[in-house]
Structure 1
């Protein structure tokens, strides 16, 4: 089952770009639990301890051009603009890729040991911490950081949830969080997210392309049609069960 999910996420990530969500650069992005991201002619991936950089300039012969030690328990990778947001069990790291073959660390924040997906936009970063059996502690929260100054992230909001995992943006107004159900928050004021709707589906990650939502769970992948004019108008279009 895990192999099927990985292939699905890989296909979506390589087949779509951040331009689907109003960006002009070519950044391939999987869900918030992804460990790889495409930026122009480079592929970035994280393993347990390192950030790995691959050149795709020659598409038939990818070449590893760098690896950068980050720390222990690195889990997730999210690309936005010329920056990488890396989640670990102990914190979030922000790296600049303005020099694509030589990412440079801009900042980091530390938190209690917990599983840590992270996503970001031009002004804020959103992190979920959860107490999965492999992650330690009993921390289950949504955190919001002001990252307008990437060298000085500031925690501006923390909210207890049940066991949050994957997260994703829908337009600039909404944040979807995989919790006991799929919760939708209005984030027009990022310091005070407001719960406005929920989908009664247990999933661990989401991928959103235009008005299509893919919710990925242990038992299947669910495709929904969303309405940007009415966040409560969400229709299940198909499901693939494992």
Structure 2
């Protein structure tokens, strides 16, 4: 069942990423550079311009898409052990592993450069980021080897020296995503936190969605949550004082 769900997550992310590419070609910037996440935090690939980046157990692979009909492998970079996830934001790749987070920069898109890494307890580790902060969830799981269940928040303004600002205990957090200055985390339910301006590393609980999911994909005001029992779509609304969630549809497995 989990393999099936992982495939569904990856397919949804692929569709959204290619949709973003088309929107950008038409003059609409729907990329994560607006501060809104694209692929899910459990994704193992990212498309940036003419390149596809993928991760597997130990390596980061770079494919040229200059001929979309015939992708070409142009680089194969050793990162570390037990690599799990890949998230892209602007000119950086954030790679999650069971032992830590790696930050690679893309000044040369064919040769990503390892700028920094942070280590933590052995735990499953998805990551998302914006201009100044990276958010990592660690969760206990029979495949991950520890009893740690928490959100970690890093200052990444200096990509060469990420600094842990804060941790927040949760039930069993998994995938997560960014919606402007809100962080959405898959925990025992889908939880929404406000990222507090002027209080670096602080987040405040806002609301929750009574569904269990293991990852979220956010595109503009659309939230897609993928769980063991189905895929759920929601519309997100926000203004100065209110955050609302509207249910759109459910696909049950």
TM-score range, shorter chain: over 0.9
How far is 1:159 from its partner? 0.8
Q: Which residue in 2 is equivalent to 1:135? A: 144
Runs of 4+ in structure 1 displaced over 6 angstroms?
Answer: none
Q: Check whether the contact 2:140–2:172 (CA below 8 A) recurs between aligned residues.
A: yes
Q: Which residue in 2 is equivalent to 1:184? A: 192
Structural mapping, 1:202-217, within 5 Å: 202-217=212-227
Structural mapping, 1:1-242, within 5 Å: 1-2=4-5, 3-16=7-20, 19-20=29-30, 23=33, 29-171=38-180, 173-188=181-196, 189-229=199-239, 231-242=242-253
Instruction: Please give the alpha-carbon distance, in whole angstroms, between the structure 1 residues aligned to 2:39 and 2:244.
Output: 25
How many correspondences in the alignment? 239
How does the TM-score come out when normalised to structure 2? 0.90
Deviations 1:2-22, CA, capped at 9 Å, x for gaps: 334432332223323593257
Q: Check whether the contact 1:28–1:39 (CA below 8 A) recurs between aligned residues.
A: no
How far is 1:58 from its partner? 1.1
How far is 1:51 from its partner? 0.2
Higher relative contact order (CA 8 A, sep 6+): 2
Q: Check whether the contact 1:14–1:29 (CA below 8 A) recurs between aligned residues.
A: no
In structure 2, stretches of 5+ residues that fail to align are none
RMSD of equivalent CA atoms: 1.8
Q: 3-state SS of the aligned residue for 2:30? A: helix
Q: 3-state SS of the aligned residue for 1:150? A: coil
